[in-house]
Amino acid sequence: MKDMRVHVVGAGIAGLAAATALARRGATVTVSEQANALEAVGAGIQISPNGAAVLAALGLESQAARLGNRLGAVEMRDGPSGRPVLRLDLDAAGYDHPYRAFHRADLVGMLAEAATGAGAQIRLGHTIGPESPIPDDCDVTIGADGIRSALRARMFPQGTAGADEPAFTGNVAWRATVPLESYPAPMFDGAADHARLFMGPGRHLVCYPLRARGLLNIVAVEERRAWQAEGWMYPDAPENLRRAFVGMGAEVRALLDPVEIVHAWGLFRHPVPDIWHRGTCVLIGDAVHPTLPFMAQGGNLALEDAWVLSETLAKAPDVETAWRHFTAQRLARVRRAVAAAGRNARIYHLSPAPLRRALHAAMGLAGRIAPQAPLRRFDWLYREDVTGGKG
């Protein structure tokens, strides 16, 4: 790939991972980012074993261990009562790679350092809009510019195959981070970091520590009839978040009491198109298959995309063949992950109390009879290693 010139649009997880992988294979890589600084919103992100395999293959395991803390389990609880429902033991699952929690800014910073270290050039404050011409000073262009991809809009205008037509899901989410010192020590003593999931009628809340920053990451979702905007940069009043979860138990209310800064965003469902490319341009990550956050797979699928794309470009005889092979390898898996995230929303938000209690009782019984069975349902997701064990 020494003679290949690559232009990556977007310096997020997908774009920076692709830039790193391609630059290490010898390509000349330029990354364009519209922001003037690589400052990710102050929020957490979960990197599951399938995403961690890519980080390891990129040579980032030691940095990942330093910046991300291992999550040993997911504790699922009934929100209104606080009763335990099911414990998913991630440590006992025996994955080849760890399940970690990162502050998004730390993960992006680590990938940016890896990309520049491999020889990629990152150009900040460089905007490519929907009407901008596709760059002609490169051999391939990779659109990794996120859920509102300008390159996708440029490649696939509304009304054409591949155009994005999102639909509001009826869910609105809040993100917040709170200093761990704001909570009594027993709540997060650090002996074993777990993700906690509280399920309630028409809403749920997930939280987990971000040890490198001394923060607790909180994501809360409520069903709602209408929402006008998509994105996660809209400040909201903490009182609105607390009011939405007033019917939950004491532990949830205690988690939300110290929240001072919160952002809200509407959750939209995006169909995953059959076509991801046009000419010398291809889309990856959220630019082509944004997923709902109920499986925490957005960043992981982006990392997988980046690795698979670099391999297909390196092996294919021409760009068109590379794009076809890339899409063929990714399409079914991505659609399966997107569908799984949608199903989780229904499980988390079951409203009639008798049905919710019955479901939770069944989940708990299944967990006691076969503790690893609930996690094995997702072996297809977490145990997949698109790098072929190169990490």
| Residues forming the active site | 208
Token pair in block for residue 183: 């909570």
Extended beta strands in 27-124, E state: 28-33, 44-47, 69-70, 73-78, 84-89, 100-103, 121-124
Q: Which helix (H) or strand (E) holds 148?
A: none
The secondary structure element, H or E, covering residue 323 is: helix 319-348
For residue 162, is it left (φ>0), alpha (ψ between -120 and 50) or beta? Answer: left
Q: How far is the C-alpha of 29 from the C-alpha of 121, rounded, in Å?
A: 6
């349902």: which residue's tokens? 377
112 neighbors 122 (Cβ within 8 angstroms):
yes
How far apart are alpha carbons 248 and 181 in whole angstroms? 23
Q: Determine whether 324 is exposed, middle or buried from the number of CB atoms within 10 Å of its CB (0-12, 13-18, 19+).
A: middle
Helix, strand, coil tally for the chain in percent (to 5)? 40, 25, 35
Is residue 99 within 8 Å of 296, Cβ to Cβ?
A: no
Distance between terminal CA atoms of the chain? 21
Sheet holding 69-70, edge to edge: 44-47, 100-103, 69-70
Q: Which two tokens stand for residue 95?
A: 């994955």
